[in-house]
C-alpha cells in the first residue's frame, strides 16, 4: 500500500468518525466526496443554529 493510499484511508476514517459524532450513520456506498460534503453541510447547519 502506497503512502498516499494510507493517507486517504486515514482522512476517510476521520470524516466517518466526525459524521458518527454528529449522529449521521448512512455511510454505506457513499464516496469520500459525498461524505465530505455531508460533513460540511452538517457543520454549516450547526453554525447557523448558534
The reported pTM is 0.84
How far apart are alpha carbons 43 and 45 in whole angstroms?
Answer: 5
Write the pLDDT tens digit of every residue in 1-50: 898 999 999 999 999 999 999 999 999 999 999 999 999 999 999 887 65
DSSP assignment letter at 29: T
Q: Which residues contact 16 (CB under 8 A, 6 or more apart)?
A: 27, 35
The pLDDT, as a whole number, for residue 45 is: 93
In the chain, what are the helix, strand and coil shares in percent, each to the nearest 5? 75, 0, 25
CA distance 9 to 22: 20
Amino acid at each position: 500500500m502506497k503512502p498516499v493510499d494510507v493517507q486517504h484511508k486515514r482522512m476517510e476514517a476521520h470524516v466517518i468518525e466526525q459524521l458518527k459524532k454528529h449522529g449521521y450513520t448512512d455511510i454505506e456506498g457513499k464516496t469520500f466526496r459525498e461524505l465530505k460534503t455531508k460533513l460540511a453541510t452538517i457543520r454549516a447547519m450547526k453554525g447557523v443554529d448558534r
